[in-house]
Structure 1
Amino acid sequence: MIWDSWSDLIAMGGYAKYVWGSFAVVAVVLVGEQVALALRHRSALKAARTAGESS
């Protein structure tokens, strides 16, 4: 697609809510995955420290 202006790009030919909505969903999922990984990593480190102290 070729756009004449930035507003045409943002409007996406009338499909903006679907296009930008899908981008938003993907962004939320990616951020959520990063948060979940960080929490799991923190939990694993805590469990490893606890296991190391009890041995």
Structure 2
Amino acid sequence: MSFASFADFIAMGGHGPYVWLSYGISAVVLGLNVLLPVLAHRRYIADEARRIRREEAAQ
């Protein structure tokens, strides 16, 4: 499929909003699949460091 202009490419023959919305949703989901585990790992490391400091202080 070829397009006469960039505007025609963006419009995707009238289906542009659906196409670009699905690309956007996919990008958000993929980003969350990367970001959430990284944040959870950081939170786990911080919690473990706090626990270790607390145990050392109690001894």
**Normalising by structure 2, what TM-score?**
0.71
Please identify the structure whose Cα radius of gyration is greater: 2
Over the matched positions of the two proteins, sequence identity in percent amounts to 35
Once the two structures are superposed, what CA deviation does each residue of 1:3-24 show, in whole Å capped at 9, x if it has no partner?
1110110000110011001011
Aligned-residue CA RMSD in angstroms? 1.8
CA distance in 1, matches of 2:37, 2:6: 36
Instruction: Note the C-alpha offset of 1:50.
Output: 4.2
Q: What residue ranges of structure 2 are gaps of 5+ in the alignment?
A: none
Deviation beyond 6 Å, 4+ runs, structure 1: none
Distance 1:19 1:30 in 2: 17
Q: How many residues are matched?
A: 55
